[in-house]
Amino acid sequence: MGHNYTKDAKGQDITLEKVQELFRFLAYGETPEGMIVKYPPKVGPRKAMSIVWFLQEQMDILPDRFEMCVTCKEIYDTYTEGGYNEKTGRHHCDWCAR
Mean pLDDT of 9-32: 92
Considering the domain boundaries, does residue 65 fall inside one? yes
Strands 90-92 and 66-68: unpaired
pLDDT-derived band at 5, boundaries 50, 70, 90 = low
Q: Considering its fold, how many domains does the chain have in total?
A: 1
Considering the domain boundaries, does residue 46 fall inside one? yes
Q: Which domain holds residue 23?
A: 16-97
Task: Return the DSSP state at 81.
Answer: S
Considering the domain boundaries, does residue 8 fall inside one? no
Considering the domain boundaries, does residue 71 fall inside one? yes
Considering the domain boundaries, does residue 31 fall inside one? yes
Contacts of 65 (CB under 8 A, 6+ apart): 4, 77, 78, 79
Considering the domain boundaries, does residue 60 fall inside one? yes
- Give me the helix-helix angle, 45-57 and 16-28, nearest 10°: 130
Tell me the pLDDT tens digit for each residue of 62-81. Answer: 999 999 999 999 999 999 99
Considering the domain boundaries, does residue 30 fall inside one? yes
* Mean pLDDT taken over the chain: 91
Q: What is the pTM of this model?
A: 0.86
Q: DSSP of 11-69, one letter per residue?
A: S-B--HHHHHHHHHHHHH----TT---SS-----HHHHHHHHHHHHHTS--S-TTEEE-
Q: What is the pLDDT of residue 23?
A: 97
Mean pLDDT of 9-22: 90
Amino acid at 37: V
Considering the domain boundaries, does residue 9 fall inside one? no
- Angstrom CA distances, 62 to 7, 33, 56, 74, stand at 9, 22, 5, 17
